[in-house]
Chain A
């Protein structure tokens, strides 16, 4: 029997799910969220998933896609990790990246995820390479290519989300600590074996292999890390902090990683359009960060990140504040 989930809608077929959905609907009717329209990308089970809320006085997205490899609606990513919205001026990609995990299987899944992203973000670059090799391997794959403007140029991309990888060493609070982390056995079971490749060892998100792939991806796609571009290599600019409250003296306490990013087109576009990029943790003393203050984390283990574009230059009126 074929089971088809409507991955753009919230589940509501049992009492519990109806109550959950009603709570979300209620929040969406309250100020200030009543000013937004919600787009969801849901997983088939109760985990992962992402959503994008778009202000109602903003142009409605021209298209909403929930997969990096297919435009067909039912091909939405089964864990709801992708939400791509196309506007007239930009395309907005929200992702929740697969965690590398500690096991061989999870690492293979992460590599497949990185590959998917690469096919999407560097579609043209890969095609150019293929043309050089004389083959057309990549084009045979049903790729969702990045939308174009009417003049044929690629639309600027704003790619954000929990990318579950640290780009550089400065993007973790304690590089030596994270580089040497090992899997722990759960419930008395022995931990999983160390990966054979030393570059796969260490904290998921900070392994050498992940960072290599991450860097190659953004370099090839000609994207820049908006926050770093504006703030340089400033230290202790983390967006994720380990367990406070749960374990007051846990080993991740006070240790953070920078996992949430805004990647945008570099070069001229960046200079002409990006006004600011702020992490909610900016300006909060390091000692306080270990507690994950509510004003930056809102109860999550990740803080919020904000990107602001310059309001339209050249006299075009814009209602933005």
Chain B
């Protein structure tokens, strides 16, 4: 099942992904068909249970020693366990509505720069996220 929304933030910028991604992997045989695709076979392998990859990469010393080991030994493949990185969100109702707010509404209603921020903010707190739905309508 496809996820409904594009992630917000720098990492979704395709131009940034092109330089060295942590981006999507295109699963089975990504780029395998390209004529200049590398054919070199993996020869060196490293395994490490990192006990939270995020935790390790947040600590300067841990990160430095890990990167130094990788640089020194230059393994073709690095296997990590206990990354503690949760899977992408399920396609839940609230996720869907947030996506609708962020993506479709600003397009339909291009606001002037001056009023953009407050308008979006007010939508964030509206009950069901629909622009035509207001608290006033509820009170009538």
Q: Which residues of A contact B (CB under 8 A)?
A: 1, 3-13, 17-18, 20-40, 42-64, 73, 80, 83, 85, 87-90, 92, 94-96, 158, 160-162, 240, 259-260, 262, 280, 294-295, 298-312, 318-321
Contacts and interface: CB of A to CB of B under 8 A. Distances in A.
Pairs of residues from A and B, 10 with the lowest C-beta to C-beta distance, nearest first: A299-B62, A28-B22, A42-B87, A34-B20, A302-B49, A96-B81, A13-B89, A25-B22, A6-B88, A94-B79
B135 interface: no
A320 B85 contact: no
B93 to A, nearest CB: 8
A8 B69 CA distance: 26
Interface stretch (B31-39, B106-114, B116-124, B125-133): B31-39
A160 B79 contact: yes
Interface string B5-19: 001111100001001
25 contacts: A5-B89, A11-B87, A22-B9, A25-B11, A26-B22, A31-B67, A38-B21, A49-B84, A50-B79, A54-B42, A58-B76, A58-B77, A59-B37, A59-B39, A60-B37, A61-B29, A63-B28, A94-B47, A162-B47, A262-B45, A295-B65, A298-B56, A300-B56, A308-B45, A320-B43
Interface residues on B, range: 35 or more
Contacts of B10: 22, 25
Given A27-B57, A29-B19, A298-B56, A49 B86 contact: yes
B13 to A, nearest CB: 11
Given A4-B1, A96-B81, 13 more contacts: A23-B58, A37-B30, A43-B87, A49-B81, A58-B38, A58-B42, A59-B37, A59-B39, A95-B81, A161-B79, A299-B59, A299-B61, A301-B51
A307 B45 contact: yes
Contacts of B63: 27, 298
Contacts of B8: 12, 18
Contact of A92 (B31, B39, B45): B45
Interface of B: 1, 3, 7-11, 16, 19-25, 27-32, 37-51, 53-59, 61-63, 65-71, 73-92, 95, 98
Nearest to A13: B89
Contacts of A295: 65, 68-69
Contacts of A307: 44-47
Contacts of B58: 23
Contacts of B46: 304-307
B58 to A, nearest CB: 7
A29 B20 CA distance: 5
A301 B9 CA distance: 33
Q: Which of A4, A38, A60, A303 has the most chain B CB atoms inside 10 A of its CB? A: A60
Given A33-B67, A298-B66, A96 B38 contact: no
Q: Which of B19, B76, B90 has the most chain A CB atoms inside 10 A of its CB? A: B76
A83 B15 CA distance: 28
A60 B89 contact: no
A148 B76 CA distance: 22
B8 to A, nearest CB: 7
Contact of A59 (B38, B53, B75, B87): B38
Contacts of B74: 32, 321
Given A54-B42, A58-B40, A21 B21 contact: no
